Amino acid sequence: MRLKIITSNPGKVIEYREALSLFSIDTEHVRIPYDEIQTSELRDVVKYGMTSLKEQGVKDFIIDDSGLFVDALNGFPGVYSSYVQKTLGNAGILKLMENVSERGANFQCCIGCNINGDDIIVTGRCDGVILKEEKGTEGFGYDPIFSNDGDISLAEMPISEKNGISHRGNAVRLLIDKIKDII
């Protein structure tokens, strides 16, 4: 089985390849532009993107929309995480969290997969906290400021360990369960 990973984020490609290879699923990184909508729900963004890709004749693919949801910031940046990462970065989130004692947050990853003509949508989650400073050099995006255990950031973990607990890793495992049901 071979799936196209459609993203412009090379970090996601690495994580998907690592996770899916454990289930003997080959991947191909493809950059295909598709329509995205601005909405408050990851699932709506993914559904719209899948429709756009299928209208272009694309089959057997994975897309996702992911976000960091910070409790003290009422879920911000959420679906706007990519834009906020590009504009404010980790330093901007840490600045917003200065003097905030409640540091709870979660990462969510909504995966849309088209396989053999069937559509699957799953959402994985990883609960944790926003650290007080950046730690680690692995991963990408908000990984240096997010920890699932309050100590080690996702950027301090090898990818195999990160995939074992991360929002994307959890979503991939849900996806694999669904794929097993249809093949």
How many Å apart are CA 4 and CA 81, to the nearest integer?
23
36-62 pLDDT, tens digit each:
898 999 999 999 999 999 999 999 999
Question: Which residues are the active-site residues?
Answer: 65
| Dihedral over Cα of 26, 28, 29, 35: its sign | negative
84-109 pLDDT, tens digit each:
999 999 999 999 999 999 999 999 99
Q: Which domains does the chain have, with CATH numbers?
A: 2-182 (3.90.950.10)
Cβ pair 5, 13 in contact under 8 A: yes
**What burial class does residue 133 get, using C-beta atoms within 10 Å of its C-beta: 0-12 exposed, 13-18 middle, 19+ buried?**
exposed
Radius of gyration of the chain (CA): 16
The pairs formed by 92-101 with CB atoms below 8 angstroms and a separation of 24 or more are 93/68, 93/130, 93/142, 93/145, 94/130, 94/132, 94/133, 94/134, 94/145, 97/70, 97/72, 97/73, 97/130, 97/132, 100/72
pLDDT tens series, the chain, 183 aa: 899 999 999 989 998 998 888 888 899 999 999 988 989 999 999 999 999 999 999 999 999 999 999 999 999 999 999 999 999 999 999 999 999 999 999 999 999 999 999 999 999 999 999 999 999 999 899 999 999 999 999 999 999 999 999 999 999 999 999 998 887
